[in-house]
Amino acid sequence: MSGDERILIAGGGPVGVVTALALAQRGFPVTVFESEPDISDAPRAATTHPATLELLADLGLIDDVIRLGLTARKFQFRDRPSGALVAEFDHETLRQDTRFPLVVQCEQHKLARLALDRLRALPDAEVHFSARVAAVDAHAGNVGVTVETPGGRKKFRGAFLVGADGGRSTVRKSVGIQFEGYTFPERFVVLTTRFDFEAERGYCYRNYFSDPDEWANLFKVAGDDGRGQWRVVFPTRREESDDEALSDAGVQGRLQRFFPKPKPYEVVHRNLYKAHQRVAATFRKGRVLLAGDAAHVNNPIGGLGLNCGIHDGVELAERLARFRDGQGGEEELDLYDRRRRPLNIEFVQSQTVNNKKRLEEKDPAVRAANFEQLRATAADPARHRQFLLRTSLIESVRKAALIV
Ligand SMILES: Cc1cc2nc3c(=O)[nH]c(=O)nc-3n(C[C@H](O)[C@H](O)[C@H](O)COP(=O)(O)OP(=O)(O)OC[C@H]3O[C@@H](n4cnc5c(N)ncnc54)[C@H](O)[C@@H]3O)c2cc1C
């Protein structure tokens, strides 16, 4: 790399700041542009899998992530109509495979803030809020961005640009990379309540409910005050309007059908999300690299999207460092795309699509067969471990090393 080695990063979401931290720790000067005035605390990712915990440990974030999150060793599949437990999986089975045989439920805004604090303590790391990357000007030798700020439009230049600006990525669109895939017709409602599903119903911190009429996911997170909150995720009905889904009647109706109780639920947040399965046609175009949701989006069942984005960011920092240090040429940068894109398709797209199909299956015979398969997998120690190696992304990390 010649001249200024600065890496520009569009997007101060969790992937943007973790990528910036990974780069800054390798000695790169970095500049992050975030369009919003602060880190968003919308309730999205929390589930952080073993392979990702290992990366966060290498970045020096693991103790804080565990401290601010909740440890969830097990997860359960249930049949919602009967309430029956179908299968339980225990990460302890992975003790020989990982330093972290557990999942940590740590909300993504906490992770982003932790990474941001670490980043700010490093030399030559700049972070601009209320700074929207509006245009990209990529050349063979460097890349420029035009950024909209409260003080007007400003131009910045760097050696590379990382597009970590989310599913609607301006960077991806600016360089003409297609976002192939589809959007689900239904939306996903996320309701957050303080009702204690562990005390009242014996549920663990991660639960997946199969139901031909309305599947559900239920998770516990610590919340900002550490008192604990439960998030329930449901699909909307196709004909249901957004207003209806978010109305008091809609929200209470859903929660009461899920678990009836005499008093109304105390609902802390109500949010609605569109869900997609899309992958960018390439993760690299010249000096522009895509990471996180800018490169791939998926439905949240299985909690894989952000995890995969963190793996992108760490891989990208390694490839750029090798390129800078003369340990490889352009092929180092191409390797980023050759590894991350197929791994996203094989491990994240396929698992999340299958997870959704399994939960929403309507055919009674297929449902019964799915349940039997889950039971048999959980009951057999070798299959139990194999299943978790995949869900925890450990298998994807092992496979990455084989793509050279
Ligand atoms: C309900 C729900 C639950 C989920 N649960 C999980 C889970 O448990 N585990 C998991 O791994 N994943 C989960 N996900 C997915 C996860 O939330 C996303 O994968 C994650 O947010 C991606 O992070 P990101 O930084 O790539 O993108 P984002 O979080 O979208 O951040 C992008 C940032 O870029 C900024 N930005 C946008 N445009 C510009 C621009 N032009 N210039 C500058 N800044 C810009 C945005 O303001 C934003 O801050 C869930 C998603 C949903 C909806």
Rounded Cα–Cα distance for residues 10 and 16 (Å) = 7
Q: Fill in the amino acid letter for 76.
A: Q
Predicted pLDDT at 140: 83
Q: What is the dihedral of CA 286, 287, 293, 296, to 10 degrees?
A: 20
The one-character DSSP state at 381 is H
- Tell how far the Cα of 245 is from the centroid of ligand 1, in angstroms: 22
Instruction: Report whether residue 292 contacts ligand 1, using a CB cutoff of 6 Å.
Output: yes
User: Can you tell me whether residue 30 is helix, strand or coil?
Assistant: strand
The values of phi and psi at residue 274, to 5°, are -80, 150
Rounded Cα–Cα distance for residues 171 and 145 (Å) = 9
Q: Which residue has the tokens 């565990």?
A: 66
- Tell how far the Cα of 42 is from the centroid of ligand 1, in angstroms: 9
The values of phi and psi at residue 280, to 5°, are -65, 145
- pTM for the model stands at 0.97
Tens of pLDDT along 166-218? Answer: 999 999 999 999 999 999 999 999 999 999 999 999 999 999 999 999 999 99
User: Can you tell me whether residue 61 is helix, strand or coil?
Assistant: coil
- Ligand 1, atom 20, residue with closest C-alpha: 306
Rounded Cα–Cα distance for residues 376 and 326 (Å) = 50
Rounded Cα–Cα distance for residues 7 and 32 (Å) = 9
pLDDT at 3 over 70: no
pLDDT at 2 over 50: no
Tokens standing for residue 67: 């401290």
- Ligand 1 pocket test, candidate residues 8, 108, 133, 236, most atoms within 8 A of CB: 108
Tokens standing for residue 155: 């131009």
Q: Where are the alpha helices (DSSP H) in 148-232?
A: 170-174, 197-201
Tens of pLDDT along 109-120? Answer: 999 999 999 999
Q: What is the dihedral of CA 190, 192, 197, 199, to 10 degrees?
A: 170
Tokens standing for residue 271: 């949010």
Predicted pLDDT at 4: 82
DSSP string, 243-289: HHHHSHHHHHHHHHHHS--SSPP-EEEEEEEEEEEEEES-SEETTEE
Tokens standing for residue 218: 């239920």
Question: Buried (b) or exposed (e) across 34-65, using 16+ Cβ within 10 A?
Answer: bbeeebeeebbbbbbbbbbbbbbeebebbebb
Instruction: Report whether residue 180 contacts ligand 1, using a CB cutoff of 6 Å.
Output: no
Strand 143-149 to strand 216-221: parallel, antiparallel, or no bridges (unpaired)? unpaired
Tens of pLDDT along 17-76? Answer: 999 999 999 999 999 999 999 999 999 999 999 999 999 999 999 999 999 999 999 999
Instruction: Report whether residue 304 contacts ligand 1, using a CB cutoff of 6 Å.
Output: yes
pLDDT band at 88 (very low <50, low <70, confident <90, very high): very high
